[in-house]
Amino acid sequence: MNWRRGSVIYQIYPRSFADSSGDGVGDLKGITEKLGYVADLGVDAIWLSPFFTSPMKDYGYDVADYRGVDPLFGTLADFDALLKRAHGLNLKVIIDQVYSHTSDEHAWFKESRAARDNPKADWYVWADAKPDGAPPNNWQAMFGGGAWEWDSRRRQYYLHNFLIEQPDLNVRHPAVQEALLGEARFWLDRGVDGFRLDVVNFYVHDAQLRDNPALPFTKTPARPHQFQRHLYDRSQPETLAFVERLRALTDEYGGRFLVGEIEDEEPLARQLEYTSGFNRLHTAYSFFLLRQRRARPEIFIEAMESFAQAAGWPSWALSNHDVPRFPTRLGGDDDARTRCLLAILLCLRGEIFLYQGDELGLPDAHVPFEKLKDPEAIRFWPSGIGRDGARTPMPWTQDGGFSTAAEPWLPLDPRHMALSAAAQLDDPRSMLAFARALIALRRDSPALREGAWETHAAPPGVLAFARIAANETMLCAFNLGDAAATLDAAGCMPRLMRAARLEGAMLTLAPNGVAILAG
């Protein structure tokens, strides 16, 4: 069996998973010590967010050395020990790779900005000012303000789609592509099982630096970049050629895995484009589900049917380190609703990403303004989405258990400690037990893991679909409405049910009821 097909991948945010050194920041040794817990969940792989050398302006997504482990997290030897332990537990290891941009402290950028005629002069996106000194075009950065920063040494602007301290690489340049392939090969040679490619559709910019057109809107957007259609600063067709080079490199190693993060105005279409054929990404996920604020059957049907006839293969997540946790964002911090949503996620077709704490049902944490660390949250406070609420430390015990430090890098939410792993571990009624049961059912079901998708007739408010494999069909039904609902389930046998009952051919679901039936 292809290990990744329909797999469940557990995302670990290293700063917040487990602190072995007592400095208040999670580290690689801490992760290694907790891998037994992760393996016991039944997941197939872990994805590690960045642990590379970085000034931490964007908490690791500003890489200063692709091959170095930041001292905050440990050493390269610590990573090797983590990799060995994970493989010993039959866990694959996927690591982040950030090829759209680097830190402004990366040696490549320091050389590039030094002069216009050195060997790396064109390794980043530089452009002259307009005659009046204005930036080359109207592009806006994701984290607020214009996407161009003046550099007094070169007397030119450089592009940054995110923070000023995150200059964009010129991935059009053949030498840059070769350098990035070299960084990938370093980690593949070390034994990693694949890469999660950060903002993969941001790699290449429009060569003519054309202005983005304005978007019509009925109310003022929350952020400057939302005023525009992003036709020219991302999702350029030339990006796919480099993606194909990455895929070819990965395929040299056999059994390795490429998953891309898509940030686009047409997320599902872009997911399809980047996974089309056998020479692009193995899979991709977008923010289509991650940005949703209301759980309706229609959104899941749209996501699934977009890939129903496609050769490409999707990935899905409801939480990650960039968005408010789904129990709050979609579930209203309601236990029954959270369980229903988790069950939906683990029955979808594609690879499934669980973010650390999803299995515990953690709500989005409250972080007071004076404790915020996320530059995006601070910039857009109080109306921004804020990412720190999803990044607070993992609650291992009811006293915290993350670190021996008097004060961790972000505060633990008291609500999280009440939902700690220790508190749930031996409780068969807990969210953790429910998550384990769902993961085990998916792992053992060919239909849930790899089967086709077919929408099933259901009353309003109910999401129902069949997952169909050669020798197995599973009927999955979830009541997202406010009233009890019934639907036909003739010939089905229960596999996992909650707030549901099957009487003859009739399935009845209470609000937030879950039924996974063998057909």
Residue 384 has pLDDT above 70, yes or no: no
Question: pLDDT at position 1, please?
Answer: 56
Q: What is the pLDDT of residues 225-235, one digit of tens each?
A: 999 999 999 99
Where are the chain's structural domains? 8-102+173-442, 451-518
d(CA 416, CA 191): 35
> Of the given ranges (17-21, 25-29, 289-293, 381-385), which has the lowest mean pLDDT?
381-385
Amino acid at residue number 517: L
**Which candidate, 111, 129, 131, 134, places its Cα nearest to that of 121?**
111
Question: What's the DSSP call for residue 90?
Answer: T
Amino acid at residue number 356: Q
Q: What is the pLDDT of residues 399-442, one digit of tens each?
A: 999 999 999 999 999 999 999 999 999 999 999 999 999 999 99
Q: What is the pLDDT of residues 469-495, one digit of tens each?
A: 999 999 999 999 999 999 999 999 999
CATH number belonging to the domain at 451-518, selected among 2.130.10.10, 2.60.40.1180, 3.40.50.261, 3.20.10.10: 2.60.40.1180
Percent of all residues in the chain with a pLDDT value above 90, rounded to a whole number: 93
**Using CA atoms in the order 279, 284, 288, 292, what is the torsion angle rounded to 10 degrees?**
170
CB atoms within 10 A of CB 379: 13
Contact assessment for residue 82 and residue 17, using Cβ atoms and an 8 Å cutoff = no
**Which candidate, 175, 166, 168, places its Cα nearest to that of 126?**
168
Q: What's the whole-number mean pLDDT along residues 119-139?
A: 98
Q: What's the whole-number mean pLDDT along residues 70-89?
A: 98
Residue 269 has pLDDT above 60, yes or no: yes
The residues that are catalytic are: 198, 252
Q: How many CA atoms lie within 13 A of 369 on its CB side?
A: 7
Q: What's the whole-number mean pLDDT along residues 432-454?
A: 97
Contact assessment for residue 91 and residue 35, using Cβ atoms and an 8 Å cutoff = yes
DSSP 142-161: TTSSBSEEEETTTTEEEE-S
Question: pLDDT at position 379, please?
Answer: 87
Q: What's the whole-number mean pLDDT along residues 333-353?
A: 98
User: What are the structure tokens assigned to 459, written together?
Assistant: 């009353």
Residue 93 has pLDDT above 90, yes or no: yes
- Fold of the domain spanning 8-102+173-442: TIM Barrel (3.20.20)
Tell me the pLDDT of the chain averaged across its residues: 96
For the chain, the 3-state helix, strand and coil shares in percent, each to the nearest 5, are 30, 20, 50
In 152-203 the beta strands, taken as DSSP E runs, fall at 156-159, 194-197
Please name the residue that has the structure tokens 């075009």: 137
Contact assessment for residue 196 and residue 97, using Cβ atoms and an 8 Å cutoff = yes
Residue 81 has pLDDT above 70, yes or no: yes
Confidence category of residue 380, pLDDT binned at 50, 70, 90: confident
Contact assessment for residue 397 and residue 19, using Cβ atoms and an 8 Å cutoff = no
Residue 385 has pLDDT above 80, yes or no: no
**Which candidate, 249, 258, 255, 242, places its Cα nearest to that of 312?**
258
Helix 335-345 vs helix 431-444: angle between axes, to the nearest 10 degrees?
Answer: 20
Percent of all residues in the chain with a pLDDT value above 70, rounded to a whole number: 99
Q: What's the whole-number mean pLDDT along residues 125-147?
A: 96
> Of the given ranges (170-179, 212-221, 390-399), which has the lowest mean pLDDT?
212-221
Q: What is the pLDDT of residues 71-80, one digit of tens each?
A: 999 999 999 9
d(CA 331, CA 353): 18
- In the chain, what is the straight-line distance between the N-terminal and C-terminal CA atoms, in Å? 23
Q: What's the whole-number mean pLDDT along residues 100-118?
A: 97
